[in-house]
Structure 1
Amino acid sequence: MKKLITLLIITLFFSCHNQAQVNPKQQEVINADPIVVPIENGKARAYFASGCFWCVEAIYESINGVDEVISGYAGGFTKNPTYEKSNTGRTGHAEAVEVIYNPEVISFATLVDVYFGSQNPSQVNGQGPDHGSQYRSIIFFQNDEQKKIIEEKIALLEKQLNTKIAAEVYPFQKFWVAEAYHQNFEKRNPNHPYIKSVSIPRLNRFKAKFPELLKKDNK
C-alpha cells in the first residue's frame, strides 16, 4: 500500500511539472510565427533557457560582445508569470535569459555555441540538480536564418555526441523580466550555497572550455 501511494505521488508530481508541454495553449506557442526584436542602438537581443537562470545569466555576462543579461521567463502561454507560478510547471514558461549583445562583436551563431557548450545538451527537463519543465532547455529563434543556424548545430551535435539533443526550438514570442532579486544573483550572492555548489562550478567549466570568448576581466 505504501509503495502504491508513493507511486501515485511521484506520478502526480511529474504530471504537474510536465503538463505545460502537452497543454493545447502550449502548442499554439510552439506553432506561432516568431516575433523579431529590432536592433536598438546597435544592440541585438537573443533568448535562451537552460536550467536555472542564475547560472545562465553569469555565463553569458562573461562573454565579450555581450552588454547585459536579464533573467526572466519565456516559452509559455501564461501572462505575467512569477517565480512562484513558474515553479509549479503549469505556466508553460521556462527560466530564461535575454542576452543584449553587439552583433558586430559576437554573432548569434556563437551565442548558440555558448548555449550548447555550457550545459548538458542531452538532459531532458532540467539542468544539473534542477528538474521540471520550468528548467527545461529552450532555444528561441526570431527568423528563418536563426532557426536554420539552430537546427544545423543541433544536427551536428547529435552526430558528434551520438545522442538526442534535449533543447526545444521555439519561435520567440515574449520575454517576461523576473523579479529584481533574481537579477545579477550570482554576483550579488557569491556565498549562497547553490551559487557555490552549482552556479560557480558550471561557470568555471564553461570558462575552461571557451577561454577565447571571455571578457578580459573574466579570464
Structure 2
Amino acid sequence: MTTSFVLAGGCFWCLDAVYRTLDGVSEVVSGYTGGTTPNPSYEAVCTGHTGHAEVVRVVFDESVIPADIILDAFFTLHDPRQLNRQGNDVGTQYRSAMFYTDEAQRELFEAARERAADIWDGEVVTEISPLGEFFDAEDYHQDFFAKNPGQGYCLAVAVPKVNKVRRRFAEYIVR
C-alpha cells in the first residue's frame, strides 16, 4: 500500500536526504505548504512572510517500511522542541509540522508526536495541521543533497542527520 506524508522539520534538504536513504520510500518531493501565498518561490518563503513551511512529501510502501518508522525517523532527524527554527535556521518556514490529509493520518501523527515526547526532554512543539495546497519547490531543491554532496550546509547539517537516522533505523536503510 502506497502512502504519502507531508512533513516539515527545518530545511527540506535534510529531510529529503534522510528519507531517500530509507528502503520502501519511492519518492521525496521538496515543497511548500501551510501558508497563504499562492505558488510561492523559495526566496519568498525565506522571508517568513508567506506562512509556508519548507516541507517534503514522502511517498512510501507500507509493506516495506511501516508508517510509524517514517514518522519516528522524522522525530529522530530534527529537534521537535525548537519553535520556528532548527539550529541556525530561524523562522516559521523552518517550523516542525505535520500536515494530514484525513482523520486517520491526523491520529497517526498525534501518536507519533506522543512517542516523541517520551524520547525528548522538554515540550514537543510540532504542529499538526490539515494539508492545504502543496507547491513543489524549484527543481534545484529536488534531491539537493545527492546533487551537492560537498556543499557546506549539507556537510555540516544534513550529514549528521542522515547518520543519526541510519544508526537508529539500520534495518530500513537502502542497501
Q: TM-score range by the shorter chain?
A: over 0.9
Separation (CA, whole Å) in 2 of partners of 1:52 and 1:122: 16
Match of 1:96, SS? strand
Gaps of 5+ in 2: none
Residue 144 of structure 2 corresponds to which residue in structure 1? 185
Residue type of the alignment partner of 2:65 = I
Residue in structure 2 matched with residue 174 of structure 1 by the alignment: 133
Question: Which of 86, 99, 105 pairs up with 1:127?
Answer: 86
Q: Please show how residues 62-141 of structure 1 align to structure 2 within 5 Å.
A: 62-141=21-100
Contact kept? 1:75, 1:94, Cα under 8 Å: yes
Give the equivalent residue in structure 2 for 1:27. Answer: none
- Kindly provide the amino acid, as one letter, of the partner of residue 150 in structure 2: N
Distance 1:204 1:160, change over 3 A: closer
Question: Paired residue for 1:195?
Answer: 154
Inter-partner Cα distance in structure 2 for 1:43 and 1:118:
22
Which segment drifts farther, 50-59 or 198-207?
A: 198-207
Question: In the aligned structure 1, how far is the partner of 2:119 from the partner of 2:157?
Answer: 26
Contact 1:60–1:69 at 8 Å: present in 2 too? Answer: yes
Counterpart CA distance in 1 for 2:70 and 2:53 is 19
Tell me if 1:52 matches 2:24.
no
Q: Which amino acid aligns with 1:196?
A: L
Task: Give the Cα–Cα distance (whole angstroms) in 2 for the partners of residues 154 and 100 of structure 1.
Answer: 20
- Deviation of 1:162 after TM superposition, in Å, equals 4.3
Q: Distance in 2 between matches of 1:197 and 1:56?
A: 14
Contact 1:65 1:102 in 2 (8 A): yes
Answer whether contact 1:138 1:167 (CA < 8 A) is retained: yes
Secondary structure at 2:50 match in 1: coil
Greater relative contact order (CA < 8 Å, ≥ 6 in sequence): 2
1:121-174 CA-partner distances (Å, limit 9, x unpaired)? 211111122111011111111111221122123233324434211211011122
1:158 counterpart = 2:117: yes
What's the RMSD between the two structures over aligned residues? 1.4
C-alpha distance in structure 2 between counterparts of 1:153 and 1:190, whole Å: 30
Residue 164 (structure 2) aligned to one of 205, 208, 213: 205
Aligned AA for 2:130?
A: P
Three-state SS of the structure 2 residue aligned to 1:77 is coil
Q: Which runs of 5+ in 1 are unaligned?
A: 1-41
State the Cα deviation string for residues 158-209 of structure 1 (Å, max 9, x = none). 2443421121101112211001111111111111111111111221122112
CA distance in 1, matches of 2:141, 2:116: 31
**1:214 Cα deviation (Å)?**
0.9
